[in-house]
Structure 1
Amino acid sequence: MKISGRAFDAVLSDLDGVIRFYDMAELEQSERAAGLAVGSTAEIAFAPETDLPLMRGEITKDQWTEAIAHGLADRVPHERGRELATTLAEAKFRADEVVVGMLRQARAAGLPVLLVTNATPWLADDLALLGLTGPTGLVDDVISSADLGIVKPDRRIYEVAAERAGVAPARCLFVDDRQENVDAAAALGMTGLLYRDHADLRAVLEPALRTGARARARGD
């Protein structure tokens, strides 16, 4: 639904670092108990050679945790590395309800809301736990790297997202917490928002919501 004066007609949002956040307290405790610096497991897990095959849907969760354990093998016994990797893979997470609320407002105002995320093959289960999908969920569609075999900032994932939103790239708002992903979206003509806190998202959404409200009041 294009409304005259509105800067964009669809919202494309990253998941992790914008909507979803993890509780790493258990993993940090386990790392200390193993004599490792906090963050050691994540450093291995999210290194490109370990992480990208997972994000492209090329390996399973078990294969990913095994790769993490292998990467930790020079610091802890394999079984301990496997335990740490499993703790990371099963870390609890939550949705930021303030962000969810703002995106629900955008959707209620007629803006399609889509997730565009570098994700694991079990993303659908995670989204169901968060309550973001289904008839009462938050999003209209999910563009997952694990489904497409393409990761941000590859331009093709943005093109797929715009096509599924049903609008031109230049009519999309793209929200992400990583600069390189925002830059790639902007290169396609999207309105890019580097997300840091609630105020960032509120500042870019509120003018669009006000414009939509005025248009509905006029019966446009």
Structure 2
Amino acid sequence: MSTDRNIVLFDLFGVIARHQRPGAQERMAARCHAPTDAFTTAYWACRPPYDAGQQSAPEYWTAVLRSLSLSLDADTIEELRLADIDSWSRVDDRMVAYVQSLRDIAEVALLSNIPLDHADAFLIAQPWLRNLNHIAFSGKIKVAKPAPAAFHHCVVAMRAAPTDFLFVDDREENVSAAQAAGMNGHLFTDHDELAAVIDTWLPARRPTGK
């Protein structure tokens, strides 16, 4: 079935935004007086409910510190929370410009796994995001990729069909999940390859003839 909706749905981290700042987890581990390896294991093991909006930041950091058998105090938790937000705050300026330029030829949306407080900070630091056609942050929609409900949210929110979307992510499991949900998918590696894919995808979807 042909469609006149062309929606490019972007992941955030690893595509438009940079991955976590190098050395950030080592510095947070040092603040806790914890071994880096143990801290990293706890940091990621406790992360899914936080990303999916099922835990607040204090609840997440309490779980991390408890798993490390460390004492808890509000000042430490707040320092870790702010350091964590800062560690995920960098963007790729070239990709930001490219994403914004696409709005002249397609609808542009965002689907990102990001905790609620991180999402709020990102929106303040990057106000251009509010110009996109839709923003779906996992901490706000209460579900994270690669769960099918994350992709379904975007389809319903944009009143579109899954086939209207080209989903762009740097993680293969997320692209595969989007494709299983009926979307087109592209595994992101760099700007130039993505631009070529989108340049091909958009003309291919324009009806020819009458």
| TM-score (ref. length: structure 2) | 0.79
Listed as ranges, the matches of 1:98-113 within 5 Å are 98-109=94-105, 111-113=106-108
* Deviation per residue, 1:127-150 (Å, 9 max, x gap): 22123333xx4x221112222222
2:110 maps to: 115
Tell me by how many angstroms 1:72 deviates: 2.3
User: Structure 2 stretches of 5 or more lacking a match?
Assistant: none
Listed as ranges, the matches of 1:4-23 within 5 Å are 9-21=6-18, 22-23=20-21
Distance (whole Å) between structure 2 residues aligned to residue 127 and residue 40 of structure 1: 31
2:124 maps to: 128
Q: Is the 8 A contact 1:114 1:165 kept in 2?
A: no
**Structure 1 residues 132 and 36: alpha-carbon distance in aligned structure 2, compared to 1, 3 A threshold:** farther
**Structure 1 residues 149 and 18: alpha-carbon distance in aligned structure 2, compared to 1, 3 A threshold:** same
Distance (whole Å) between structure 1 residues aligned to residue 195 and residue 38 of structure 2: 34
Equivalent position to 1:95, from 73, 81, 91:
91
* Deviation per residue, 1:82-105 (Å, 9 max, x gap): 588443344252111121122112
| TM-score (ref. length: structure 1) | 0.75
Q: What secondary structure, in the 3-state scheme, does the structure 1 residue paired with 2:15 have?
A: coil
Equivalent position to 2:183, from 178, 181, 190:
190
Distance (whole Å) between structure 1 residues aligned to residue 159 and residue 193 of structure 2: 25
Count of aligned residue pairs for this structure pair: 199
Distance (whole Å) between structure 1 residues aligned to residue 112 and residue 67 of structure 2: 25
Distance (whole Å) between structure 2 residues aligned to residue 121 and residue 96 of structure 1: 22
Equivalent position to 1:207, from 192, 197, 200:
200
Letter in 2 for 1:28: E
Distance (whole Å) between structure 1 residues aligned to residue 128 and residue 67 of structure 2: 33
Distance (whole Å) between structure 1 residues aligned to residue 134 and residue 188 of structure 2: 20
* Deviation per residue, 1:40-74 (Å, 9 max, x gap): 43432222xx112212212211111121112222x
Equivalent position to 2:53, from 20, 43, 57:
57
Quote the sequence identity (%): 25
Listed as ranges, the matches of 1:19-168 within 5 Å are 19-21=16-18, 22-29=20-27, 31=29, 34=33, 36-37=35-36, 40-47=38-45, 50-73=46-69, 82=77, 85-86=80-81, 87-91=83-87, 93-109=89-105, 111-122=106-117, 123-134=119-130, 137=131, 139-168=132-161
User: Structure 1 stretches of 5 or more lacking a match?
Assistant: 216-220
Q: Is the 8 A contact 1:119 1:145 kept in 2?
A: yes
1:218 maps to: none
Tell me by how many angstroms 1:9 deviates: 0.6
**Structure 1 residues 113 and 70: alpha-carbon distance in aligned structure 2, compared to 1, 3 A threshold:** same
